[in-house]
Structure formats: C-alpha cells, structure tokens
Amino acid sequence: MDDIRVIVVDDSFLMRRIISDMLNEVEGITVAATAKDGNELLYLLGKEKIDVITLDVEMPGMNGIEVLKVLKERKINIPVIILSSLSKNSTELTLRSLEEGAFDFIPKPSGEISLDIIRLKDQLIEIIYNAYGRKNVKMINIPPRPSSTSPLLGEVSLPKAIAIAASTGGPKAYSYLFSELNFYIDIPIFLVQHMPKGFTKTFAERLNNLSPMVVKEGEQEELIRSGTVYVAPGGYHMEVLNGRIHLNEDAPLWGVRPAADRLIKSAAEYYKDGLISIVLTGMGRDGAEGIRMTKAFGGYTISEAESSSTIYGMSKAAYETGCVDEVLSLYSIPKRIEELLGGRNIWK
C-alpha cells in the first residue's frame, strides 16, 4: 500500500516544520508538500498527488473557510483536517469550517509545544488514517434492525428527554438537525460532541442561533429545564443526577471527555422509558453502552445510517449492540423525532 500523502498548510514556518517532522516519523504517512497559505495550497494541488490536507484555519489572505469553498467549487474531494488555536475567532472559524465540509479538527499546539505535540500526535495520526479511509470507502445502507424488546415503530412511552451523541462529523450533523428541528420542544435535550475545552461554548452558541430552544453549555448543579438543550462542556463528563446537571473531571472514557456513555447511561437511569437516545457519526464506540442501557430501561433508540455518516464508527457500534430500534439517515432523524414526540411536546 502506498503512503498517505499529506500537505501541511500553515502560515507559520515553525508550525509547518513541527507538523511535517512529526508526520514524517510515521510509517505509512508522507508529507508530500507544505504551503504557507491557501493560494500556495491550490497551486500545489495541481502539481502533487495529495490524499489529506492539514489546514490552518487563520491565515492571511485566503483563510480556511475560503479554501474549503474553493475546493468545493472545483470539486476537489480531498479530506481536510483543521488545525485551530483557542482564540474566539479561531474557534468560530473552525466550527464554520466543519459546517463547510472539513473532516475534523484538532487544537494547535500552544504553550509547551513539545508536550502538546506528544499529546496530539496520536490523535492527528488517527484522524489522518480515518480521513483517508473515509475518502476511499464505498457507502452502503444498512436496514433497520429492531431489537427483540423494542416497541413497534411509532409506539413509544411519553418522551421525557432526548440524548444525542456525536464525534467526527458531528458539528455539521447537529447544524442540520437543529435547523430542521425549528420548533420548540418542551422536554430537555442533552448533547455530547467530542470537543476540547474552549470549543463547546462557541458550538453551543452557534446551535442556539438555529433553534427556538435555549442551547447552552451545561453548568454544575444546574436545574434541568424543559425546552433547553444542554451541551456537555469540553473537558468534563456531563451526567444527569436528581434532575440536575452534574459535571466532573473523572478519567476519560474511550479516550474522550466528555463521553456520551457517561451522559446517556445517567439519563437512562433518571428518565427510564421516557428517554430517546440517538447516536450519530463519529470515530470509536462511545454511546453504544448508553444505547444498551436506554433499551434496558425501555427507552427508544436510533443510530445514524452509514450512508449519511462522516465516519461510521459510533453509530455502527450502537447498531451492533442489537438494541437499536431504528437505523436512519441523518436527513430522516428530525422528522422521526417529531413523530416520536407525537405533537405532545411541540410548539411550532
């Protein structure tokens, strides 16, 4: 198998050198070229065979958003991994980039660069391999697989809450979901999106602009209210305990914090058969145990189909538990939520 050929795009010579040296140490990955800005990237794409792009989101001239738009216009189908700083402007640009089609992102090294590089190296390598695999995979549809204990479609206990989980591809999926759920839902919704500290607040603000409900980061000991969407803050597990939000910095689960399993399992214990749990696109298997527990308490479960998933990992793991009531394309999920709520919890 040929090496995965990567181009590193960053206006900082030091950052280009650090990332290139790091990736060139990895068997199976070759840095084919580097570029200092978007214009140089577009020029080099006509000269080099490139499989994956790492892209600085803040650059003079053509920024990451503008690069993605040009790639889309020219029908250049190369997965893009955004490298982002923690500034307010950069986090906003990063989320816009993900909505514009970037595959995933990681925070740029900062402070003690050598320590950050060690911590982020494995993550970047994993994302590169997944981005390359996603580029070359043939998408197929998997039919719904009701569990033996699941209710008939359309029959569900009075919904009391919804829990949704996503990772890679999640920001774009959530943006679509909430632009379609353009009505007030009179139950709480809990979201987990695998993101580090500094990004989830901006993420919540963007969703808040799309929704008639209040979308915010969950806060410690906050009383859970209907019509509110609680986003798990980066760096914290979020759980439902006695009708309140509980945050903690326990060890990561499945390598992530926040972890969807921590949230969904706690919500299942609290809401019992009144919980609807949904697992969307993402790497890994986070959320599968939450789906299993939701079903054990009589709740309703949905996983996203492979055909609409950026990465068919989390939703596949959920499906393979045998506890999923429905496998749905992302584009069918908003309507299905409305049907499950049955008009009882909706004000349009």
Just list the catalytic residues: 167, 194, 286
d(CA 236, CA 215): 17
DSSP 79: -
Nearest alpha-carbon partner for 313 in 130, 171, 190, 124: 130
> How many Cβ atoms are within 10 Å of 277's Cβ, its own excluded?
34
- Number of neighbouring beta carbons within 10 Å of residue 153: 14
Per-residue b/e over 126-152, b at no fewer than 16 CB within 10 Å? bbbbbbbebeeeeeeeeeeebeeebee
Question: What sign has the CA pseudo-torsion 22, 78, 180, 274?
Answer: negative
Instruction: Give the integer Cα–Cα distance in Å for 30 and 120.
Output: 18
Asked whether the CA dihedral 164, 167, 173, 175 is positive or negative, the reply is positive
Residue 303: Cβ-neighbour burial (10 angstroms; 0-12, 13-18, 19+): buried
* Separation CA 305–CA 326 (nearest Å): 9
Rg of the chain over Cα atoms, rounded to whole angstroms, equals 20
Q: How many residues does the chain have?
A: 348
CA dist 165 to 42, 234, 271, 290, 297, Å?
Answer: 35, 14, 17, 10, 18
In angstroms, how far is CA 277 from the centroid of its own chain?
16
Distance of alpha carbon 241 from alpha carbon 247, whole angstroms: 10
Lookup: tokens for 66: 């503008």
